[in-house]
Chains A and B, each alone.
Chain A
Amino acid sequence: MLSSYQAGLVADGSILLLGALSVYVILSTGQLSLGNAGFMAIGAYLSSWLTVSVGMPLTLAIVISAAVSAVFGLIIGFPALRLKGLYLAMATIGFGEIVRTFFLNFEPTGGAGGFSGMEHVPLWYILGWTVFTLGCVMVTERTRWWLEIRAVNDDELAAGLVGMNTTVTKLMAFMTGAAIAAVAGALFAHQTLYIEPASFGFERSTEFVLAMILGGSSLAAGSIVGAALLILLPELLRDFVDWRIAIFGALLVAVLLVRRQGVLDRNLFGLARLWRRVN
């Protein structure tokens, strides 16, 4: 049986995994979002308000929050069709900051004082959502739609020329990522039982990106490794607790220099399969 401390680590890891996954889906089309904490904030605040003030059951509240967040993903996705690369990344930074300052000023959800009153969810519930979402993305990775996503990533112009609707593909990716981030936010709110705008700043967005890049940015399973690394490393490096952030930063640079695709990638699975066949 897990101690409550260990259970907390698993819950944090699951939420981080979902956050990494939300970045992954969007990045798969070649678009980097540095504002997913904004979607997370929408999910956290909306679901908490629905369960606390409206009295709605949590699962329904999460589904509604994810849907609303997906609509915001659509709204953010439209400018993304005009903006490419770094300009899009900067626009998403702006979006994240706007959502954070919105909640900072929005008194009905407590403003800077934060919002509380949520009921604690059991660990199995968080794990259930995580496995379900990860499963959905991994199944989607095997569909034709994912091939279109990868085609948009590899060469958007060519993908458009052979008749793919790259607009719909990019928007769908943004909506999916926004919905996943909202689920992560809702679970976060019902795990920590207190949310404040400062929880959803730029650092949170970069944490998601970090987990995804470290774990492996070419497949969904990479987010498992990334989240596990980010949660377990501080436990292993207790003596260097002051330097935790710097170690992560150095790790990020090292991974980009040595193994740009992250710890896991498709070839690794290919090699494992080959190894089994040889023996």
Chain B
Amino acid sequence: MQITCDRLTIELGHTEIVRDLSLKAAPGAFIGVIGPNGSGKSTLLKCIYRVLKAKSGCVYLNEEELESLTYKESAQQLGVVTQHNYYNFDFKVSEVVLMGRAPHKKQMERDNTEDYAIVYDALGKVDMYDFKDRVFSTLSGGEQQRIILARALAQRTKCLILDEPTNHLDIKHQLQIMELSKKLGVTVVAALHDLNIAATYCDYLYMLKEGQVVAEGLPRKVLTEEIIGSVYDIRAKIIEDVETSMYHIAYLPNIG
């Protein structure tokens, strides 16, 4: 499934947060959206997952205009992991994940064994099967984040939208979530803070600043010392490890 954003402009309370932005995620590609705080990453993603409406421009899933789909139809194709998931009521973990099956259900349809199998499968994939009977609100931030990913997996969609999926996670689970999302082979659009994570896992990067794309391309083309320096207003150094041919970004302190 291909996601295309065509010249999106998004306003929040009369301020343009995203301006004339175009983005394309080819089927099966892992697309990273990076940029400093307030650069419009989350706003862009919110527009793709339909919580915000664009002032102008359009989002397409394959050839179809997103706005022409019902919410149910789009939820069958887009799984979403957002940043803030605080619930005022005590849900069990398995109940939260089971909600991921909702887009595939008719109003009166009951949950069947297949749905439970998918739920437990998703929980297994994020390493949280043993937590299935725990109360969601008693889990730590990182554990909650993994449950929300499991819910998106339970949707069995061809695209995933991840809004800073590695927030609150320890290193192991940061890598695990990224690897898992990549292994699924679905189209992923992820807003990421950690440039090293972006360099390691993304096929293609969009660097945003003040609501516009300032650089795009393969990670090694976008994550250069010059571009990082000018966008984030810091000094960065790129280190390439000979042994693993890994690409690392080090941030240099201004003092000393």
Partners in one complex: no
Chain A interfacial positions (CB closer than 8 Å to B): none
